[in-house]
Each structure stands twice: as C-alpha cells, then as structure tokens.
Structure 1
Amino acid sequence: MQTIELLNIPNYFSSYYLKGLNDIAHLEYRPNIEFKKYNGLPLIIFRVKKKLVVIDNRDPVGVSKELYDLANLIYVTNRLQDSADYNQDKIRPLFPHYPINTWELYLKIFGISWYKQIGWKNALREIYIQNRRPSYKNHSITNSFRPYVFFSGSIWKQEIVANEQRSSFIKACQNHPHLHFEGGMVPRDDRQNLGLDDVLGPKRYSYKEFNEKSCRSLVNFNNPAVLGAISWRFAEYLNMGTFILSLPWKTELPVFPVHGKEIHIIEDLKGINELLSFLLKNPSYHRMILKGGKTYFHKYCQPKKQGEMIMENMDKI
C-alpha cells in the first residue's frame, strides 16, 4: 500500500478527504516545522511519491502564494470559475464533500501531537464538533414522493444575494397550494435577521432531524454559499439520494452533474414555482433525477473515489 506523509494537522473541515486518503493509502504523520502554522486549519498538506500536494477546504478567499510556490498540485473544494487566482496551472477542483466524524482516525494518525500542536482546548473542541457530525455512510435511496418540502438555512450577514435566494425558495414553497412546507431560515443569535423575519423557522434543527426531514422532502434546494462556495449540504443531498434543485454554480467541479439527468438546474428564481408544480405531476422525472444524483455521488464523490482520483492525478505530473 502506498504511504502518504501528512505534514500538518488539518481541522474537521478536511475529515472527508482525510478518510478518502486513508481508504487508499497508509497515512503517516511526519510533522514539518515549515507547515506548523497550518495546523488546525482546513488544509491537508502531504507528500507522496516525492511530490507535495495540498487539499484546500477553505471558503474561496484566494490561493496561498507560499503553498502554491512549494506544491506540485493544489486541490481546492471552492475553485471559483471567474477567479484568475484559482485558474493557475497547479490548481485542481475537487468533488463535493461534507465534514464527517473521524476523530478516532485523527487520534490514530496524529496521537498526542494532535493535542500538543493545536492545544488541548482546540483538540477537545474538534472532538466535540466531529462527534456532532455523522460517521460516513453510503445511504440508500428513500424515494420519498409526497407534497412536503423541508428547508432550513443560515442567514449570512455578508451574503445578501444568497439569503434572498433561499428566502425566495421558502416563500415559493409556503405559498404553493399543494405543498406543505416545514422549516425556514435559522434565527441569528444576535437577532439581526436582516429583514428576513417573514421566512424564519421555529428553531435550529439537530443534524439527525435535518437529515431525516431532508430525506422526506420532495426537493432539496442548493445555491452558492459564502463567497460563492459550494454548500456542504450538496454532497449530503447527493448521498441521501434526494431530488436536488440548484441555481447555477460559481465553482468548478471535475465533472458537473448533468441537468435533467442527475440534477435540476434553474437559471433564476422565477423557475422555482413552475418546477414544484411540474414535479407533483411527474413522479417519474422526480425518480430519475434522484437516482441520477445518487449514481453521480457513487461514481465520483465517495471518499475513496476522491482519494483514488487524487492519487491517479499524481502519476500525470
């Protein structure tokens, strides 16, 4: 089995890809003083076959020049389509992911260094957060077809457009005469709900509640998140085998899901109500899309598949 040398300790944002690498290689932590400052961040820095690779799970805030100069390849989860910074030669997109519970894997790989390098308080916080996330599971399709839609999302202070997109989806569902809607935008702790009080939900749903209700939902809505990033929920929706209604991407993917086969994409918000009415009358289309999305996930997005893709690309440079 190929050995991968991990040169830093990533945070829980990177747990999905860390599992993917662990599924296809032997991981060894070899602390490097040069990369110590990247401990506890959503970055995996590793060496394999004498080549330096970075997996960047941050929001799309730009590429680190230092890492770009040192690395042979940099994989990013949020490679913005219209950004020159993200379209440099060494930058590669990744398929979607979501944080999973891998704290035991972290402890196995990093041992006591996990606590020493990022501090006991931060390490315990990481364990707490990971324990609130699910362990990875390849879900079965539930094929839920009922006049019920669930959606719950955050209100972001700096993302007015994204907030409005989510608000429009909620209102379309609330006002549809043949649908029952549950959820809404999650009230902010600081009570600054940015004029979205009419679409607020009753509470913040637990992960278990969110997933159970999302699995039952006729449709799950996807739109660009913070700074145009791809939402964690997108990969979860794919894995659960649900019907995904999406606005156009702002990020690159190695392979995009196909509209009308693996996902349903609308160009603007005016298409939401029409799609909802169409779905209620066309269960066969609903079934085709959710099955197609699950096939897409199975083919490209599983942790092991992503680890294999990363290793295969290493042989090409």
Structure 2
Amino acid sequence: MGDVKNIIFLGGKIKLEQYIKKEKELYIVFNGPSVEKCHGWKLAEYLSLGKAIISTRLHNDLPFPLIHGHHIHYVNDNYDSIKEGIKLVLENPKYVDKLQKGAIEYWDLYVNPTNIVKRIVEFALENK
C-alpha cells in the first residue's frame, strides 16, 4: 500500500467545516472496528453521506442488517481481502453507485434521527 506517512494527517486539529468538506470528497471509505470491536459513529457518518463503504464484518448485530453488495461491501479482516475489495470497488463505478445509493437508502430508512425517535416512541408505547 506504500508509505503510510503519505496518507496520515499530521497537521494537528482540523476545523469541522474542512473535515466535512474532505469527507464529502471521498469516493470510497473504509470502516473497521475500534474499541471492543465496535463499528462506531463513523459508520453512521458514512451512511449519512451516501459513501461506498468497504468494511470488515460487524461484530454487533444491527436491528436492520446492512446487506453486502447493496448497502456495504464486506471484506475479511486481512490484507489480501481488503486489497481485493478496494480493487473491486475502484474498478466498478456502477458498483460504487449502487453502494452509494444503498448507503443513503439505509440512512434514510433506519438511521436518520427522525426515524430513530419514531422507533423509540413506538417501542415505549408497545411496552408500557
């Protein structure tokens, strides 16, 4: 993958406006687990921006699963699988378009704050 130093931002803090601008410019994104194998807020951020997401498998179950090849492109947690996933996505613009549309669709249906609040209220009313 080359010299990692060329892709790491070492300039200190970045302004929120610049961060969002740079995030919007990304063609594809990679999602992996963090603390306690949790795929955190970055996944929701990528969905909300309609990004083509390459990800290792989620360790936690979601109430509404992300579908491989529609909302997300899953890879195994090893160099060769990640490399092949990136190559596949970069060489297939129609697949990228499908993943981008699937990501925003998933966000709109399941993750946007309005729908989350609706589900919480429905759950609370059903379990009184």
The alignment's TM-score, normalised by the length of structure 2, stands at: 0.85
8 A contact 1:222–1:231 mirrored in 2: no
Matched-pair contact (CA < 8 Å) for 1:247–1:266: yes
Aligned to 1:301: 111
Structure 2 residue 32 is the aligned partner of structure 1 residue 223: yes
Instruction: State the distance in 2 between where 1:212 and 1:206 align.
Output: 10
Equivalent residue for 2:86? Answer: 276
In 1, distance between residues paired with 2:33 and 2:91?
Answer: 28
Q: Following superposition of structure 1 onto structure 2, how do residues 1-317 of structure 1 map, counting pairs within 5 Å?
A: 172=1, 174=2, 183-184=7-8, 201-204=9-12, 205-269=14-78, 270-317=80-127
**SS at 1:315's partner residue?**
helix
> Structure 2: how far apart are the matches of 1:306 and 1:208?
26
Q: SS where residue 122 of structure 2 aligns?
A: helix
Offset of residue 214 of structure 1: 2.0
Aligned identity (percent) is: 27
Give distance in 2, aligned partners of 1:232 and 1:203.
23
Distance 1:239 1:182 in 2: 27
Q: Quick check: 1:242–1:293 contact (8 Å CA) kept in 2? A: yes
Shift of 1:260: 0.5
Cα distance in 2 for residues equivalent to 1:310 and 1:252: 18
Give the partner amino acid of 2:120. Answer: I
- Higher Cα Rg: structure 1 or 2? 1
CA distance in 1, matches of 2:76, 2:48: 24
Find the aligned partners of 1:278 and 1:261 in 2 and give their Cα distance: 14
Q: Secondary structure at the match of 1:245?
A: strand
Contact 2:52 2:96 survives alignment (8 Å) = yes
The residue type paired with residue 251 of structure 1 is: N
Aligned length: 124
Letter aligned with residue 308 of structure 1? K
Bigger strand fraction:
1
Moved over 4 A (4+): none
CA–CA separation in structure 1 for the residues paired with 2:65 and 2:48: 15
> Per the alignment, in what secondary structure is the counterpart of residue 94 of structure 2?
helix
Residue 308 of structure 1: how far off its partner (Å): 0.4
Determine the C-alpha separation between the residues in 2 that align with 1:253 and 1:280: 27
- SS for the counterpart of 2:86 is helix
Q: Which has the higher contact order (CA 8 A, sep 6+)?
A: 2
The C-alpha deviation readout for 1:48-87, integer Å capped at 9, x for no partner, is xxxxxxxxxxxxxxxxxxxxxxxxxxxxxxxxxxxxxxxx
Shift in Å, 1:252: 2.4
